[in-house]
Structure 1
Amino acid sequence: MTGEGFGSVTMWGFSPALDFQAGLPSRKGLKRAEESLGNGEPVEVLNILLLGAGDCRHILKTMAHRKRHQARKIHIYVAENNLELLGKHLLLLTLALEPPHRMGLQEKAELFAELYGNTLIRQQTVQYLQEKANLFVEMITDLDYSDERMPTIDMSQLKYKERDYLEGIFKFWRDPDPKYFNISSMWDNRLRQYLAARYDSRNGAFDWDLSMKLHELGAKVVCKKEYTRWRENGLAFETREGIYDRPNKSMASGIVIKRRDGERVPCRGYWGDMVTGPYIAFGVDAEEKSLLKTANGKPVKSSEDITLHNLTSMFYELQTGKTYRLESEKQAMDTESKIVELDECKEEADEHREMETDGDLQNHKHGNREFYAPICCEEVCVHFLPLNSVPELPKKSKFKKLFDHAFISASMVQNLTPSLEGIFADHSTIDIELVKYILDLNKSQIDGFASRVTSMAGDVGFGPADTSEESADSVNGCFARFVKRSTQ
């Protein structure tokens, strides 16, 4: 799974976002939480393992749709191959949880898309990235402050050296000098290497990949203009008028490369996908089916339009607990304005009360740090796991039969070994991402991968899910679902 076009670092997913609570079978075996969710009653706990997702799409959708299901405490354990990806998770989840008085729905969706899928961003976006980098440096070096500032995310399981490395990543993000990460040059160099003799006729190569591969696989909403622009310079989303000329440093990652003399050296660059694009996660399907309509055989809306709608709807539901409807968009915006007013009044009252009661204590505790509460999402807690920790999970008693569900990306399926059987609960399920949208693979390779993951899941005690059930396997062939076999 390390093709030149696919890249060696999974910067985004190659499958649509999933709500982990949707379509799962009855959870009679779930544990009860010791803590409640505000009403004093213990609730069920759903423990989920997320291996190599590359982005936070599944976390975001699960968080946004949490009110559609019965009250549960959801713990999501995230393992990635690169610490830069954990930093990107932190960045995008922090953005998603920005309170409404700090950022409106439209601005949040556009900013998220820009940071998520663009190599080049606007100066305003750079300022936001630098602001958050400063915050993250404070959080990673003071976990008590991190717990208070962003209670949804738990970084306590990271090792000290990994936290030090993350601190270095965040300091790199906040460095205003763009010359240290010339992503345009890196993109062009990799493009030349990938296309080789086809570089001079690259527009034809782009058009072939779009029409004969991506469209044939079902992603017809990805239009030629946006796909060609992204393949040429890595600019996936042009959501606003402006100059996209600043490097998106959150796209940087480090790998070890072998030089001609045999020496291995670390190298920072862009090592992600350059063929499929960041459109699959949020931009090829939607609950609002009118967005998928066609006219004269062509989609009415582009993948960018669908991405922005899906992000807006998730952020609205995350904020209000109510489903976002396209026909009531104005009402949604009016509701957001009311929420902003209420939040501002509440914030002023809280600040006044804090100043009267323990203002000196707060100032001593936080120093000059800016502090404001994110959108409350007490139902979900995201735990970052150390690098290369997956083989170690079965050795720790706290992970014994812990996980009720797991998502495993195509890039990390090699971690699904028989030794992991003990970490899965008796009623557990697994979703494995298939390679449908890895465009460098042919049909026999795609079919061979599906057979391979079925065999690997069987070695861990899982069998194919009943296809009569509503499952992730029905999402355009992007996933395969497996259920734990009964031991009785």
Structure 2
Amino acid sequence: MWWGYSQPLDLQAEITQIEDCILNNLEVLIVGSGDARHIVKTLASSYTHPARTITYHIIEPTLEQVARSILLLSLCLEKDLGLQEATRYYLEILGNTLLRPATAKYLAKCAKQLIDIPTCTVECPWLSLEKFKHKDRDNLESIFKFWARATCEGVPIVNYWDRRIRKLLKTRYDYREGVFDWDYHMILKPRCITNLTIQEYRFWRNNGIAFTWLEGEPVRSNPTLLNNIIQLGPGFIHYAYLGDIVNGPFFTWAAVGKNDDKRRATDIAEREIMRAIYEIRTKEPLCEDHVGAHRDVSILNGIIVSEMPDIEMENESWISTEDKSKQDKKISWMEVPNHKIIFHPITSLESLKSKCEYINRFHLIWVAHNMTKQLSNLIPLISADAPMIVELRKYMADLRKEDLHDFTKELKEIARTNGLRSLYDFDSNAHTFARFCKN
């Protein structure tokens, strides 16, 4: 729910692979990606393509996912963060139930500043929420307020995680280490060649902490992973943690081919995020010497963290001591004048096909694996010969080969029924994406 199960794509490259694209204005639709990775990757790679305007139309199932995407995009575009600082903030907020204190302080500060975006009291030149109703914007504002407060006061997210594990495993809970090892060695490892280690996967399955470094312990709750946040009087209610507890956030930025340098998935993801943020800022390739964490490969195995911090540290409440001048300081973003991000409500999946201005409008549509039932609503929106990319379920450890085969068969039938032509014969056991065009 909170992250995707496929690597980020340079959407401009995907369009030009289909045809010699000479359009000056591209419009893409991204449905249910779970995070902002495709936008970040496309922004980072834009200097390698001819100058053109790109408008990203985004549909996410929940407002919490919309708020997280805004937060992660803001982080990548913020001028005042150091390169490694921004990289690690991004990874921790993306995939960790617990944050380092520095990351938690940034999250609390940033959430307070983002509160004004849904109400349009602060100008955000790269973002548009005009498609949302006032009620949805008010709810977005409440989500940012909750994040700022919950980061300081703390929420028992590790307990929420443990309850989910107990409910999933039931009588096997006492033997959970064996279950985690089986999922890793018998399912994930044969299915995907990555640098994900058993220590990283097992640690995440136990407590929800995916990315770790020696510099600082993760001790503060990450409230951006909580669901159904509603403001009730002076306080808030939420529905604990309902996200993924089986697969992990490793198969987005860390889903690259395994190599011989013995880096962890965390190190690979750190390098890729760092490269993306650097390229957004400088419009030039990243020199590997900038990736300081990977200079001495002899210490990488020592960076694997396998013990939880003292729970009392995590529950300690913070009191905001920032003065008014610091609170009023607005975020300074990088200028991305040729890129515009427009969020649409989930109801748009049904309504856009009835609006003339959206028929045959998009030059590319990307669809998440859990949104394939919506293809019939999306096909009228895509222009002739434009690519439609559908995420497959290769990296989902809770699915067996038979499940992946059934998903592949079902997707092919949906595509055939709705007039889509597959660009190659795909299989969820072997491929990460399926690519289609209109007949």
Give the TM-score of the pair, scaled to structure 2: 0.85
Q: Distance in 1 between matches of 2:254 and 2:108?
A: 27
Q: Distance in 2 between matches of 1:372 and 1:284?
A: 31
One of 380, 384, 402 as aligned partner of 2:343: 384
> Can you list the C-alpha shifts for 1:193-247, whole angstroms capped at 9, x where unaligned?
1111111011111111111111111244110111111111111111342231211
One of 77, 93, 96 as aligned partner of 2:76: 96
Relative to 1, partners in 2 of residues 1:309 and 1:476: Cα closer, same or farther, differing over 3 Å?
farther
Q: CA deviation at 1:476?
A: 5.8
Q: CA deviation at 1:447?
A: 1.3
Q: CA deviation at 1:158?
A: 1.1
Confirm whether residue 164 of structure 1 aligns to residue 123 of structure 2: no
Q: CA deviation at 1:416?
A: 1.1
Q: CA deviation at 1:185?
A: 0.7
Q: Distance in 1 between matches of 2:184 and 2:171?
A: 19
One of 162, 174, 178 as aligned partner of 2:148: 174
> Can you list the C-alpha shifts for 1:95-117, whole angstroms capped at 9, x where unaligned?
00011xx1111111111111111
Question: Aligned Cα RMSD in Å?
Answer: 2.6
One of 364, 367, 388 as aligned partner of 1:408: 367
Relative to 1, partners in 2 of residues 1:431 and 1:197: Cα closer, same or farther, differing over 3 Å?
same
Secondary structure of 2:164's partner? helix
> Can you list the C-alpha shifts for 1:44-81, whole angstroms capped at 9, x where unaligned?
11111111000111111011101111222111111011
Relative to 1, partners in 2 of residues 1:141 and 1:437: Cα closer, same or farther, differing over 3 Å?
same
Q: Distance in 2 between matches of 1:189 and 1:61?
A: 35
One of 166, 175, 185 as aligned partner of 1:192: 166
User: Which residues of 2 match residues 83-482 of structure 1 at below 5 A?
Assistant: 83-99=63-79, 102-142=80-120, 145=122, 148=123, 150-176=124-150, 181-254=155-228, 267-285=238-256, 292-294=258-260, 300-326=262-288, 369-371=328-330, 373-417=332-376, 419-466=377-424, 477-482=431-436
Q: CA deviation at 1:26?
A: 5.0
User: Which residues of 2 match residues 68-83 of structure 1 at below 5 A?
Assistant: 68-83=48-63
Q: Distance in 2 between matches of 1:218 and 1:432?
A: 18
Relative to 1, partners in 2 of residues 1:196 and 1:367: Cα closer, same or farther, differing over 3 Å?
closer
Q: Name the structure with the higher strand share.
A: 1
For residue 316 of structure 2, what is the aligned residue in structure 1?
Answer: none
Q: CA deviation at 1:159?
A: 1.0
Asked if 2 retains the 8 angstrom alpha-carbon contact of 1:181 and 1:269, the reply is no
Q: Distance in 1 between matches of 2:174 and 2:421?
A: 48
Q: Distance in 2 between matches of 1:29 and 1:372?
A: 35
Relative to 1, partners in 2 of residues 1:221 and 1:368: Cα closer, same or farther, differing over 3 Å?
closer
Larger Rg: 1
> Can you list the C-alpha shifts for 1:276-319, whole angstroms capped at 9, x where unaligned?
11100011216xxxxx323xxxx611100100000111111111
Secondary structure of 2:11's partner? coil
Relative to 1, partners in 2 of residues 1:441 and 1:236: Cα closer, same or farther, differing over 3 Å?
same
Relative to 1, partners in 2 of residues 1:187 and 1:312: Cα closer, same or farther, differing over 3 Å?
same
> Can you list the C-alpha shifts for 1:258-288, whole angstroms capped at 9, x where unaligned?
xxxxxxxx852111111111100011216xx
For residue 297 of structure 2, what is the aligned residue in structure 1?
Answer: none
Secondary structure of 2:366's partner? strand
Q: Distance in 2 between matches of 1:408 and 1:420?
A: 9
Q: Distance in 2 between matches of 1:329 and 1:235?
A: 22
Asked if 2 retains the 8 angstrom alpha-carbon contact of 1:217 and 1:436, the reply is yes
Relative to 1, partners in 2 of residues 1:390 and 1:217: Cα closer, same or farther, differing over 3 Å?
same
Asked if 2 retains the 8 angstrom alpha-carbon contact of 1:16 and 1:284, the reply is yes
Does 436-445 or 109-118 show the bigger shift?
Answer: 436-445
Asked if 2 retains the 8 angstrom alpha-carbon contact of 1:77 and 1:385, the reply is yes
How many percent identity over aligned positions? Answer: 31
For residue 341 of structure 1, what is the aligned residue in structure 2?
Answer: none
Secondary structure of 2:125's partner? coil
Q: CA deviation at 1:84?
A: 0.0
**In the comparison of the two structures, how many residue pairs are matched?**
401
Confirm whether residue 64 of structure 1 aligns to residue 44 of structure 2: yes
Asked if 1 retains the 8 angstrom alpha-carbon contact of 2:29 and 2:56, the reply is yes
> Can you list the C-alpha shifts for 1:12-36, whole angstroms capped at 9, x where unaligned?
00111111112433556775xxxxx
Q: Distance in 2 between matches of 1:437 and 1:309?
A: 21
Q: Distance in 2 between matches of 1:456 and 1:484?
A: 13
Q: Distance in 2 between matches of 1:13 and 1:249?
A: 19
Q: What residue identity is the alignment partner of 1:22? A: A
Asked if 1 retains the 8 angstrom alpha-carbon contact of 2:253 and 2:273, the reply is yes
Relative to 1, partners in 2 of residues 1:398 and 1:240: Cα closer, same or farther, differing over 3 Å?
farther
Q: Distance in 2 between matches of 1:248 and 1:427?
A: 42
Asked if 2 retains the 8 angstrom alpha-carbon contact of 1:463 and 1:483, the reply is yes
Asked if 1 retains the 8 angstrom alpha-carbon contact of 2:408 and 2:427, the reply is no
Q: What residue identity is the alignment partner of 2:382? A: F
Secondary structure of 2:341's partner? strand
Secondary structure of 2:117's partner? helix
Q: Distance in 2 between matches of 1:29 and 1:237?
A: 38
